[in-house]
């Protein structure tokens, strides 16, 4: 019997590594990405490239206009902050998108019901991350519990599993795993505030975390060879 999984794919480093890990486990992959009005919309093109390169059965891009809600530097007229001296400000940053992972996982769950898939992968990380509350293991566990109460397939005896294989890994360890899996990180995108050509700013929280990860891993980031 073919094992199937839905993988949330943003086009970034973490989600790409998660996709490769699911592929390594011999899952047939159904990737799902979101065009939600984000300022770094360039990541969607990267997700399409990654899905083709790594190989997925189907790649679905869902359009949601979260700019109608706003409240984040990624979906509203709020400047993306730059880290000072490589340090993040205290508290949850303005790049947090309200309920984003809850919304994304809900769409993935709905698609899982349609396709009769019991495994959903998401690349959240609670070690080297920006402090988002929906990247913690307590959230993943709570969503999984909800999913197993709220769907037709689970009331009929099946179980939904939310996989978060990166949840307790440092960024450097994620990069090392990805390199062993043969990922070309040069085709991924991490920046929250790229220019019109998609060039990374190098100053936002996501860029700094990425640079720190490659430095600690002792690996040159191939993104900057292009």
Q: What's the pLDDT tens digit per position in 24-70?
A: 999 999 999 999 999 988 999 999 999 999 999 999 999 999 999 99
Strand partners, 30: 6, 58
Q: pLDDT category, 94, cuts 50, 70, 90?
A: very high
Count the Cβ atoms, other than its own, within 10 Å of residue 203: 15
Instruction: Output the pLDDT for position 89.
Output: 56
Give 199-218 pLDDT, tens digit per residue. Answer: 999 999 999 999 999 999 99
Q: Do 191 and 39 meet the contact criterion of CB atoms below 8 Å apart?
A: no
Q: Which of 40-44, 133-137, 139-143, 222-226 is the least confident region?
A: 222-226
Helix axes 171-180, 205-217, angle to 10 degrees: 60
The structure's pTM equals: 0.94
Give the chain's domain count. 1
Question: For the domain that residue 137 is a member of, what is the CATH number?
Answer: 3.40.50.620
With a cut of 70, say whether residue 95 has pLDDT above it.
yes
State yes or no: pLDDT of 88 exceeds 70: no
**pLDDT of 85 over the 50 cut:** no
pLDDT tens digits along 161-208: 999 999 999 999 999 999 999 999 999 999 999 998 889 999 999 999
Percent of the chain beyond pLDDT 90?
Answer: 86
**What pLDDT does residue 226 have?**
52
| Three-class secondary structure assignment of the chain | CCCEEEEECCCCHHHHHHHHHHHHCCCEEEEEEEECCCCCCHHHHHHHHHHHHHCCCEEEEEECCHHHCCCCCCCCCCCCCECECCECCCCCCCCCCCCHHHHHHHHHHHHHHHHCCCEEECCCCCCCCCCCHHHCHHHHHHHHHHHHHHCHHHHCCCCCEEECCCCCCCHHHHHHHHHHCCCCHHHCCCCCCCCCCCCCCCCEHHHHHHHHHHHHHCCCCHHHHC
Is the pLDDT at 149 greater than 50, yes or no?
yes
Closest to 211 (Cα-Cα) out of 123, 99, 83, 122: 83
Cβ atoms of residues 57 and 30 within 8 Å? yes
Q: Which domain holds residue 110?
A: 4-225
Mean pLDDT of the chain: 93
pLDDT (average), residues 102-129 = 95
The residues, ordered by sequence, that sit 6+ positions from 200 with a Cβ below 8 Å of its Cβ are 189, 190, 191, 194, 207, 223
């Amino acid at each position: 019997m073919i094992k199937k999984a839905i993988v949330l794919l943003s086009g970034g480093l973490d989600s790409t590594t998660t996709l490769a890990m699911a592929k390594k486990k011999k899952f047939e992959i159904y990737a799902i990405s979101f065009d939600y009005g984000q300022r770094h919309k360039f990541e969607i093109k990267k997700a399409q490239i990654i899905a083709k390169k790594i190989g997925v059965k189907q790649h679905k891009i869902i359009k949601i206009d979260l700019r109608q809600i706003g409240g984040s530097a990624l979906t509203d007229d709020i400047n993306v902050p730059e880290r000072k001296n490589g340090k993040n400000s205290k508290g949850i940053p303005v790049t947090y998108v309200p309920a984003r992972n809850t919304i994304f996982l809900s769409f993935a769950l709905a698609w899982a019901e349609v396709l009769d898939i019991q495994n959903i992968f998401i690349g959240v990380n609670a070690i080297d991350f920006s402090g988002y509350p929906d990247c913690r293991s307590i959230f993943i566990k709570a969503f999984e519990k909800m999913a197993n109460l709220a769907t037709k397939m689970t009331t009929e005896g099946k179980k939904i599993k939310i996989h978060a294989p990166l949840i307790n890994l440092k960024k450097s360890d994620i990069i090392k795993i990805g390199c062993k899996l043969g990922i070309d990180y040069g085709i991924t995108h991490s920046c929250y505030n790229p220019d019109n050509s998609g060039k990374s700013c190098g100053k936002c929280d996501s860029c700094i975390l990425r640079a720190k990860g490659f430095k600690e891993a002792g690996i040159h980031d191939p993104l900057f060879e292009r």
